[in-house]
Amino acid sequence: MKFAILGTGIMGRGWITQCAMNGHEVHCHDASPQTLAGTVAGCEKLAATAAKKFKHDDPNFVSNAMGKIRVHDEKGAFIDAAKGCDVFLEVIFEDLKLKCSVLADYLPQLPPSVVFWSNSSSLDIDPMAQAGGRPDRSIVTHGMNPVPLMPGVEVVPGAKTSSETIEFTRQTLLNMKKAPFLAPNIPGFWVNRLLVPQMLDAVRLLEQGKITVEDGDTGLYTSLGHPQGTFKLHDFVTAPTMLRVALQMYQASNDPRMYPPLTLMRMVKNGEYGASSGKGFYDWSDPRNPKPLDMSKYVIGTAEEMLQPLA
């Protein structure tokens, strides 16, 4: 099969690698030349990690996968390549207005047979399907990060998604050794509808001075069997992404638990994004051994502290 993937950030590279590792031809593009420039190197690293984890004994496994990737610097060349693909997958950050604008530009230029997948983690598929002009062939395929290492894929049909599109998507993902599962088209779908409120509640408790990063993550890791604690997960997701997802879910649901806490806003303002910036709830100077940070500067005990600038 042939895939056209728009967006080559962390999640985009994950999907590019996943498709390429399974023998599919992948055409990719990103509006950011800097992001696009690091695509192949990032995918090669992911493929090597996957090869080690899943014990692939083929010495050419990584090089074969990389040979399936075609990077397009020019938008026009990418669209021309996408016209011959089976699937168009967008992996743009969580901004519904932006996604719809981009899809309204790209998808009408493609043949009606091309199936549209969105990697959105929380956004309504119906406006995107409408913007792209193919609601019957539009569906969410929300992969877990990192995509090549995590089997789960949340599959979310829209109001007009055909049964053929659902089955095509499910079977394609199964053939790529993924574990697809159907989820409802509600804010956050299934995974983030449960996960995001829990993660935001953890930040609120930290903001109240009720828990520390180290104790909070140790508790979840050792008591609930989580592979990592919630604050470390925050750092992998990144503060800007959490802020966008929480705000989008709040606006869609009016659920007060979804409203992002002040600490999260201050961390974004201060550039404390998490693992990607080297500092968040942890110090990532040594990525193999991140150190939990003292976040007491973010504790809010008085109205005066709440009114302090975002610094």
pLDDT computed for residue 307 by the predictor: 80
pTM of the model: 0.90
pLDDT computed for residue 262 by the predictor: 95
Q: Which pLDDT tens digit goes with each residue over 135-145?
A: 999 999 999 98
Residue among 118, 268, 133, 283 nearest 189 (CA)? 118
Quick check: 310 pLDDT over 70?
no
pLDDT computed for residue 168 by the predictor: 98
Strand partners, 264: none
pLDDT computed for residue 278 by the predictor: 96
Rounded-to-integer distance, Cα 182 and Cα 145, Å: 18
- Mean pLDDT value of segment 247-253: 91
pLDDT computed for residue 227 by the predictor: 85
The full length of the chain comes to 311
Q: Which pLDDT tens digit goes with each residue over 208-222?
A: 999 999 999 999 999
Give the confidence band of 113 by pLDDT, cuts at 50, 70, 90. very high
- Report yes or no: 125 and 156 within 8 Å, Cβ to Cβ: yes
Lookup: tokens for 123: 């956004």
- Mean pLDDT value of segment 192-204: 96
Quick check: 304 pLDDT over 90?
no
Residue among 300, 249, 256, 295 nearest 272 (CA)? 295
* Mean pLDDT, rounded, of the chain: 95
Residue type, 16: I
Q: How far is CA 91 from the centre of its chain?
A: 8
